[in-house]
Chain A
Amino acid sequence: MVNITTTSNGATAIQPTGMVGGRHYTIPQLEAMARELRRDILQSIHSAGSGHPGGSFSELEILMSLYFRFLRHNPAQPQWAERDRFILSKGHASSGLYAVLAKAGYFPREELATFRKLNSRIQGHAHPMTPGVEMNSGSLGMGLSFALGCALAAQVDHKEHLVYALLGDGECEEGEVWEAAMAASHHKATNLIAFVDRNRIQNDRFTDQVMTLEPLAQKWRAFGWRVMETDGHDFHRLLPAIQRARENRIRPTVIIAHTVKGKGVSFMQNNPAFHGRALNAQELETAMQELA
C-alpha cells in the first residue's frame, strides 16, 4: 500500500499511493469530480439555508489532492493510528471537507443533506463527531498549533506519518498562527505541511481592505519555514507542488495556494458576498448548470 523510501539526503519520504478504495484517479477524472463535489457542496448548503460556499470552493482542489492522491488513510478505519492527519483550521469551510470525506467513503453521501440540521453528525463547523474530521473548529487560528501537536506526537512515537493543515488567508491575521509558526520551526516539525488558501477574501471584504498580509511568503520564510507557492486549483500544478513538499523535508513547509473564492461559478467567483451565505433557489439553478 505505502512505499517508504529514504532520499539521498537521508530524509524519509512516503510515496503517495494514488489510490482510494483501490482506485487511481487521473487528472481529468479529478476535474470532473471537482464539478460533482461543488454541486454537492452547494446542494448541502442550500438545504441547510446557511453555510460557507466561497471558501469551500477555494479549498476544494487542495483537499481532493490530499484525500485522493497523497493521504495515507483508511476511510473504513478513521482512527487508524498510522494515518496521515489533515487538520482543517478554517473550519467554517466545512462543506468542502464533508463533500470530500463522503466521496472518499467516510460516511454516506446522503448525509450531506443533514448538514446543520438537528441530530446530524455533520455540524456547521467541522467537529470530530463526523468520521474523518480530526479537530473541532470554528474559532480561527488554532489548527496550525493543533497540527503541530499531532506532528510532535508522531515524532516522539517514532511514527512516519505526515500532518497537513489548511489555513485561510484571513486566518493568518490571528496571532496564534505565528506563535505556532515560530514553534514549528523551533521544534523541527519537518513532518508538518501547511497550506494557506490564498483566496484574498475574508468574512467582510477583500483581505487587503481588512489587513495587509503581504509579503506573506516572506513572513513564513522569516519564521523558519520552507515556502512554496502554487496555483491552488490546477491539478497539473498543485499535485507536483504537494509532491515536492513531501520530499527533502528539513523544515516545516507551507504551500501558499493561490485560489479563487467561489471558484467555478461565474457570479460567486471573487465575490465576498458568498463567503458566508447559501444560494437562493434561482442562484442554485444557475450554478448547477454552470457546474454540470
Chain B
Amino acid sequence: MVTKRANASTRETYGRTLLEIAQEFPDIVVLGGDLNVSTFTHLWRDQHPDRFYDFGPAEQNLIAVGAGMAASGKIPFVSTFSVFGVGRPFDQLRVLVSQSRLNLKLVCTHAGILTGEDGMSAHGIEDLSLACALPSFTVVSPSDSVETAQVIRTVAATNGPFYVRLSRAATPVIHDASYRFKLGVAERVKDGNDVTIIATGVMVSVSLDAAELLAGQGINARVLNVHTLKPVDQQAIIAAARDTGAIVTAEEHYIHGGLGSIVAQVIGQHCPAPLEMVALQGYAESAPAGELMVKYGLTPQRVAEAAQRAVKRKDNT
C-alpha cells in the first residue's frame, strides 16, 4: 500500500506566509477580487488594511491596477481563483505585465479539478498553458504546503512577473522542514533508473504513490518534481530521458499546453524517449475533488499503468 501523508492547504500557507514577510518586504501590496477569504488574503486585509485593495469581481481592472502599482515600485500580490485571474484578464497580463516585464505576482488558488463541486467553469485546467504562453512570466506550481511557503518568499524576492498555482483542497505534504526550494531547479523526489515520472503540483504526491506501486512490480521509478514550469529545468528532464529511457508526465491540468507539452518539447528536441502523459483530456464536472481525481484518471494506479506502458515501449525499441 502507498504511504499515508498528512494534508495541508497551500492557499492557507500562502496567506500566512504573506503575513510573515510583510515587514521584510515593505513594498508588498495585496490586491483581491472579492474572494479574499477563499484565497486567504483576508489575513493580510485584516492585518495591513493600508496595503490591501479589493476591486470586486472585475479582474481586468484588478490586473491593470496591479500593473500600475508595479510600475510605481510596489510589489503587488494579486490573488483570485485561477479561472478568473488568468483567463478573464489574459489581455491585461499580456499587454501590461508581460510586454513590460512588470514586477506583478499573480498567485491564484482553486486551480484544476481539485476545486471540486463548483464544477467545470470553476476548474482552472488551462491556466498553466495560458501562463506559460506569456513570454516574461515565470510559472510555478508548488507540490505541497512546505514548498508553497518557500515559493512565496522566493517570488517576493525575485524581480519579474510570476504566476503561482495553488489549490482549493488541502493536499498531501511530501516535504519535511529540511526541504529547500530552488526556483527553476527540478527536485528529484525519488531516485530510480527504469522510468521517470515527471510531475507537478498535487500529482507529485500521487506519483510518489505510483512509484511505490511500481516498486512492488519490480520497476524502479524516478520521480521529478517540476515545480517551475517556466523556465523549465531542461537538464533534469534530459538527464531523466537519458538515464531511465522512458518518461511519464503527470499533471492536474489539461493535456494541451501544460507539463506534458513542455516535457515533450524538451525531450523531442534533445533526447527522444517513449513518453506517456497523465493529464485531463477535457472538462470535468461537479463532484468532491477526490471522486473527480478517480473518475478523470489522476490516481497512483493510472500513473503506474502509464509507467508500465512507457517501460514496455522502451523495451520494444
Asked if B91 CB lies within 8 Å of chain A CBs, one says: yes
How many contacting A-B pairs (Cβ < 8 A)?
Answer: 101
Partner of B64 from the list A128, A146, A153 (CB cut-off 8 Å) is: A146
Q: Is A242 an interface residue (CB 8 A)?
A: no
Q: Is the CB of B96 within 8 A of A136?
A: yes
A150 touching B69, Cβ below 8 Å? yes
Known: A139-B95, A176-B64. A149 touches B100 (CB 8 A): no
Residue of B50, B58, B72, B95 touching A153 (CB-CB under 8 A)? B72
Chain B interface secondary structure, helix, strand, loop or mixed?
Answer: helix
Kindly state the separation between the CA atoms of A157 and B51 in the bound complex, as whole angstroms. 10
Shortest C-beta distance, A95 to chain B (Å), equals: 19
| Residues 66-88 of B at the A interface (beta carbon under 8 Å) | 66-74, 76
Cβ B68 vs Cβ A150 within 8 A: yes
A229 partner residues in chain B, CB cutoff 8 A: none
With A142-B96, A180-B64 known, 4 other A-B pairs at CB within 8 A are A127-B100, A142-B67, A149-B68, A149-B76
- Pairwise interchain contact A180-B65, C-beta atoms closer than 8 A: yes
Does B99 contact A127, Cβ atoms closer than 8 Å? Answer: yes
Residues of chain A within 8 A (CB-CB) of B95 are: 136-139, 142
Residues of B within 8 A of A147 (CB): 68
B contact residues around A219 at 8 Å (CB): none
Residues of chain A contacted by B50 (CB below 8 angstroms): 156
Report chain B residues within 8 Å CB of A179.
55, 58, 60-61
Q: Which of B47-67 contact A (CB under 8 A)?
A: 50-51, 53, 55-56, 58, 60-61, 63-67
Given A156-B50, A179-B60, answer yes or no on A149-B99 (Cβ-Cβ < 8 Å): no
In the complex, whether B92 has a CB less than 8 A from a CB of chain A is yes
- B306 proximity list for chain A (CB < 8 A): none
B242 nearest CB across to chain A (Å)? 41
In the assembled complex, the Cα of A137 lies from the Cα of B91 at a distance in Å of: 11
Which residues of B have CB within 8 Å of A87? Answer: 68
Interface, chain B (partner A; CB < 8 A): 29, 50-51, 53, 55-56, 58, 60-61, 63-74, 76, 91-92, 94-96, 99-100
CB of A152 within 8 A of CB of B60, answer no
Q: Please list the 9 inter-chain residue pairs (A to B) with the smallest Cβ-Cβ separation, ordered nearest first.
A: A149-B68, A145-B64, A153-B72, A179-B61, A179-B58, A146-B68, A149-B65, A176-B60, A149-B69
On whether the beta carbons of A128 and B51 are closer than 8 Å, the reply is no
10 of the cross-chain contacts (CB-CB < 8 Å) are: A81-B73, A135-B68, A142-B67, A145-B63, A146-B68, A150-B72, A153-B72, A180-B65, A182-B58, A183-B56
Quick one: closest A residue to B92, CB to CB?
A: A142
Check A148 for interface membership: any CB of B closer than 8 A: yes
CB atoms of A176 and B72 under 8 A apart: no
**Complex alpha-carbon distance, A134 and B71, angstroms:** 8
Cα distance A136–B96 when bound, in Å?
6
Residue A124 lies at the interface, judged by CB distance under 8 Å to chain B? no
Complex Cα gap A141–B64 (Å): 10
Complex formed: what's the CA distance from A149 to B96 in Å? 12
Are A153 and B69 in contact (CB-based, < 8 A)? yes
Give complex CA distance A180, B58 in Å: 9
Q: Tell me if B55 and A152 are in contact (CB < 8 A).
A: no
Tell me if A49 is interfacial: C-beta within 8 Å of chain B. no
Q: List, in ascending order, chain B residues with CB within 8 A of A127's CB.
A: 99-100
A154 — which chain B residues lie within 8 A by C-beta? 72
In whole angstroms, how far apart are the Cα atoms of A146 and B95 in the complex? 11
How far, in whole Å, are A157 and B72 apart by their CA atoms in the complex? Answer: 10
Measured CB to CB, the nearest residue on chain A to B99 is A136
Min C-beta distance of B61 to chain A, whole Å: 4
Kindly report which residue of chain B lies nearest to residue A177, judged by CB atoms. B61
